[in-house]
Structure 1
Amino acid sequence: MVSLLITFLMTLSFSTIIFILLFLKSKLYYCTCDVCHSYLTSNWSTQYNNLCDWYTHLLQNSPSQTIHIHVLENTITANPNNVQHILKTNFHNYPKGKQFSMVLGDLLGNGIFNVDGDAWLFQRKMASLELGNVSKNAFDDVKFHVENRLLPLMFSVARGKDGGVVDLQCVFRRFSFEYICRFLFGLDVNSLELPFPVSRLSDLFDLATTLSARRAMSTSPVIWKTCRRLNLGSERKLKEAIRNVNILVEKVIENKKKLGFTKNQDLLSRFMEVTDDGSFLRDVIVNFILAGRDTVASALTSFFWLIMNHPEVECRIQTEFDQLTINQKQEFATFEQMKELHYLQAAIHESMRLYPPIQFDSKFAVENDALPDGTLVKKGTKITFHPYAMGRMEAIWGKDCKEFKPERWLKDGVFMVENPFKYPVFQAGFRVCLGKEMTLMEMKTVVLGILPRFKLRLVKSDGELRFEPALTATVKDGLPVIVGERSVGSH
């Protein structure tokens, strides 16, 4: 009798879910325009590898460089004037918003990237004390991880019996994960006693961010909220992934307390000086791991993909380094020399122009507004600015916008910065990325660690990059490469 009752209840629950989903689907088809129909049916995927490429196509064909996806109530823009309006001129009218916070709340909690107002300002001020200026100590930390973690792994792969093949995206995620934990939290995650390896934790973090991002793509929050309440499908997997991520966070806090913390030691120490709220500290850690690991790993992955497709750029990077150190026997550039590597700086910026780690970012309008291009914005509308599309707009970068040309960033051989609202890869205005300089320094150190020592070849050299739906640009199926050691003096 009990088993029959359980079966009946399960059948009823399943039927209810199906009814709700069908009801929502019928309601969401209120717009019959071609764009909304293509989004709802995924017809765009027959012509484009990535959703971002489809959005880019729509924005390129819009006279105002702005479009509206009715079923998502989302206004998307690639217009630099609009970006400046959203991120600076009328900043207070475009916060992250409760809708955004709700989607990522289970993973990010009340961390800096999921809050507005005083909570955001407090965490930003605290983080600026650690990230405001890139010091030689930060450089030494990166160099230590490159020399003692990254390069030994690469040499092991190159000399291994598996043909020297490795997923470079996975390598960069593991590297940046370990580095950010050392730099911001003062801990070596390899020393933590965990129920599973650090590599497994990194995978779980990937899963948590990917599943959280899928919520944002849903045409109605009711759909994922229903699945979360009933603990079904991807919501069940997300809950488990977050639970395991929290195991790491608890160990980090626990170890930090055992080791003790002193004022100004690292970012986590700064926060622990002012609060012992475990939930808040957990949110701080998760948010900064996301920022420090995923964005850097994403930027490095696309950079090396471009380099392997443009050997002439790789050669110029190596030549620039050789000329800088021609009279000195050194394997790495010094902290001071990093500032003189103008071509490398240009190549990194150019790679992120085409493949920004954060492909798009959204805000929600507090009040009715009008964008500089004349687009009317209703209260509560989702506003998305699109760095990925902006990097491919002829109106912004010229007819060669789709080409990988580091030279566009140089004037008489010297790197020149661009208008941040034209190039909002690090955001701009009041929310400009605090970790920008640290990210660039970390990337340069990794590049100069790998290129002189290893020759990398793509396992699959055809086609464009394909991305998974995620909070940061995640290459689908990773980036498998063949790693070979370079002979001395070869480029």
Structure 2
Amino acid sequence: MAFMLYPYLIYSPIILTFLYICYKHKNWSSSMPKNWPVLGMTPSLLWNFGSANEYVTDILRHNGGTFMFKGPWFSNTDMLITSDPANFRYISSTNFHNYPKGPHSREIFDVLGDGIFNCDSTLWELHRKTTISLFKNVGFLKVVEKTMWNNMEKKLMPVLDFKSKQGSKMDLQEIFQRLTFDSIISLLLAYDPETLSIDFPYNAFENAFTKSEEALFNRYFLPKFFWKLLNRLHIGNEKYLSEASKLSDKLLYKFIKANREKEATTTDNVEKEQVGDLCLLRGFMKEYKDQTGSFGDHDKFIKDTLFSLMVAGRDTTSSALTSFFYLLAKNPLAEGKIREEIHEKFGMKEGQKWKSFGSEDLEKLVYLQGALYETLRLFSPLPANQKISLQTDTLPSGHQVRKNSKIILHPYAMGHMETIWGDDCLEFKPERWISDKGGINYVPSYKFTAFHAGRRSCIGKEFSLIQMKIVAATMIYNYDIEVVEGYPRTQNASVFVQLKYGLMVKLNRRNEGNLN
């Protein structure tokens, strides 16, 4: 506990005193945190910081799905947290224009600059229209599939085979983070950073990523002057945030410059449009050739655009895959059903070499998709989403919202609510997603919110599902996966769902040979 609170306690002796007093006199796991004079509810949150998502879920469960968190006086950290589907629909769809990201969110995620996840209004509309257009390009979808199968054959499978032959344990979370990092960089820049290989090479950028995301999470609850001071002094996780920002700038500006020079010297239009040379950098530079964003800098606008997609492309998919294989290891019957489905739908016989399949073939794996959706329900990769109210309003739950109020939509908590999913909401049941006709049950996006809802719904949903299906089907067909006991499933205090100690597993090879 002291280790988790250390970064705060060394600067906050008053909070330390309160924690000690309340440790003696109060149960800090209470579903109704005490609102202390001056400090608000912060001591309760810090005491449960190592399990923040579960703690917030418990609070919401016992308070009708919506709760007002009170921060320290004069810190401007009060926030209304909700898991109510009606509120979610109202904020993300019905009254969308009253609930933008807002300047506070923009300050917290300042490293994203003018990226799509950090802007509102006209700039956001431009990003969304342009990005959807590029994502739906037939050539780009082909590149997504080609990139993933290439990474499976030349990276993931050799690493897993090597570890399984050694009989050694491995951290699947780190493997998935490296895999998705390599994949998104390839799609953005047509460049392979090669962080996933048998020798697990050190990569400064990759290393700084996770810690920087912990810093962003801390910013939600720390007074602005405090985290800005930490950032200026390069103390704690803020130093990793600065490091990640500098490294991303160096990498992305390098490729922006190189692409501009290549465009200037290439006159063959056919060569420019080759599918094999298609990457998002080229597409964005073409579409945004006259855009300078709010900073009046074209290159920075392109860099912010790419960096936002890099963060989302790495962490959402790796988080979902990590949770998926954890749940599958604990539910062997579901794993067996997925393997049977692969044999049946693809005509694969036991012992037959695995081969690559297209996205249309992968759509046949309905039970697998149900298992992935069930994972996303229980462990939404992005557990919380902040909004701000432009005008005074009343939510469907009856809660009053003042102008400039901070509101936290909590998909993680929504996935654990009996009132939404029934008494078996904590069980892993892919069957809940399968219709009587054998297809996927439709569930409204304001109830199943892993891909958000309304106008800000996830534009990368299609190819993120393709990536997850490719990895999941390949691994399940080829390996038996056993989670190593002794590693607690403690989550990092991060803007993404990540395991503090990783997901340590051992693999046993089922079928010889790689992809063919």
TM-score after normalising by structure 2: 0.82
SS at match of 1:363: strand
Q: Percent identity?
A: 32
Question: Quick check: 1:69 aligned with 2:69?
Answer: yes
Q: What are the equivalent positions in structure 2 for 1:443-462 lying under 5 Å apart?
A: 443-460=468-485
> How far apart are 1:487 and its partner, in Å?
4.5
- Name the SS of the counterpart of 1:482 in structure 2: strand
Given the alignment of the two structures, is residue 185 of structure 1 paired with residue 186 of structure 2, yes or no?
Answer: no
Q: What is the alpha-carbon distance in structure 2 between the residues aligned to residue 39 and residue 199 of structure 1?
A: 39
User: What's the offset of the Cα at 1:140?
Assistant: 2.5
- 2:185 and 2:191 in contact (8 A); partners too: yes
- 1:401 aligns with one of 404, 425, 442: 425
2: CA distance, partners of 1:374 / 1:307: 39
Q: Between Structure 1 and Structure 2, how many residues are aligned?
A: 457
SS at match of 1:468: coil
One-letter amino acid matched to 1:356? S
Contact 2:41–2:70 (Cα < 8 Å) also in 1: no
Q: What secondary structure is seen at the aligned counterpart in 2 of 1:404?
A: coil
Q: 1:90 to 1:451 in 2, by over 3 A?
A: same
Aligned match for 1:138, one of 136, 144, 147: 144
Deviation at 1:488, TM superposition (A): 5.7
Give ranges in structure 1 of 5+ residues lacking alignment: 1-17, 27-32
The yes-or-no answer on 1:267 pairing with 2:266 is no
CA distance in 2, matches of 1:112, 1:206: 20
Question: 1:373 and 1:164, CA in 2 relative to 1: closer, same or farther beyond 3 A?
Answer: same
Please state how far the C-alpha of 1:454 moved relative to its aligned partner: 1.8
Aligned runs of 1:65-464 on 2, under 5 Å? 65-71=65-71, 72-105=77-110, 107-132=111-136, 135-160=141-166, 163-190=167-194, 199-218=203-222, 220-257=223-260, 259-260=262-263, 262=272, 265-273=278-286, 274-275=288-289, 277-326=298-347, 331-412=355-436, 413-460=438-485
- Which amino acid in 1 is paired with 2:52? L
Aligned to 1:10: none
- The change in CA–CA distance for 1:251 and 1:153 in structure 2 (over 3 A counts) is farther
Native 8 Å contact 1:354 1:391 kept in 2: yes
User: Could you list the per-position Cα deviations for residues 39-94 of structure 1 after superposition, in whole angstroms to 9, with x for gaps in the alignment?
Assistant: 42247746x9611111111111123x111102231101111110000001111111
CA–CA separation in structure 2 for the residues paired with 1:391 and 1:133? 33
Give how far 1:297 is off: 0.4
Letter of the 1:370 counterpart = T
Alpha-carbon offset, residue 130 of structure 1: 2.0
Shift of 1:230: 4.1
Q: Alignment partner of 1:76: what SS?
A: strand
Distance change (3 Å), C-alpha of 1:45 and 1:304:
farther
Moved more, 299-308 or 259-268: 259-268
Query: Secondary structure of 2:507's match?
Result: strand
Return the offset for 1:338: 1.0
Q: Deviations over 1:369-393 (max 9, x none)?
A: 1001111001111111111111111
Post-superposition Cα deviations, 1:151-210, rounded to whole Å, max 9, x if no partner, equal 1111122223xx42211111101101111122233222249xxxx966332111222222
Deviations 1:257-305 (A, max 9, x none): 4554846933211221233822112211210011111100000000010
Closer, same or farther in 2 for the Cα pair 1:316/1:488, shift >3 Å? Answer: farther
Counterpart residue identity of residue 66, structure 1: T
Partner of 1:40 in structure 2?
A: 42
Q: Report the secondary structure of 2:215's partner residue.
A: helix
Which segments of 5 or more consecutive residues in structure 2 lack a partner in the other structure? 1-8, 18-31, 72-76, 267-271, 290-296
Task: Give SS of 1:68's match.
Answer: strand
- Give secondary structure in 2 for the equivalent of 1:189: coil
When residues 267 and 472 of structure 1 are mapped into structure 2, their CA distance, relative to the original with a 3 A threshold, is: same
Larger mean Cα displacement after TM superposition, 163-172 or 387-396: 163-172
1:209/1:470 contact within 8 Å kept: yes
Contact 1:187–1:252 under 8 Å retained in 2:
no
Instruction: Give the distance between the partners of 1:159 and 1:126, measured in 2 at CA.
Output: 46
Task: Letter of the 2:251 partner, please give it.
Answer: L
Q: In structure 1, what is the Cα distance between the partners aligned to 2:279 and 2:216?
A: 29
Alpha-carbon separation, structure 2, partners of 1:116 and 1:24: 36
Residues 191-246 of structure 1: CA deviation (Å, up to 9, x unaligned): 9xxxx96633211122222222222231x111112233444444334323322232
- Whether the aligned pair in 2 keeps the contact of 1:126 and 1:270 (CA below 8 Å) is no
Q: Is the 8 A contact 2:381 2:450 kept in 1?
A: yes
Please give the secondary structure, in 2, of the residue aligned with 1:159: helix
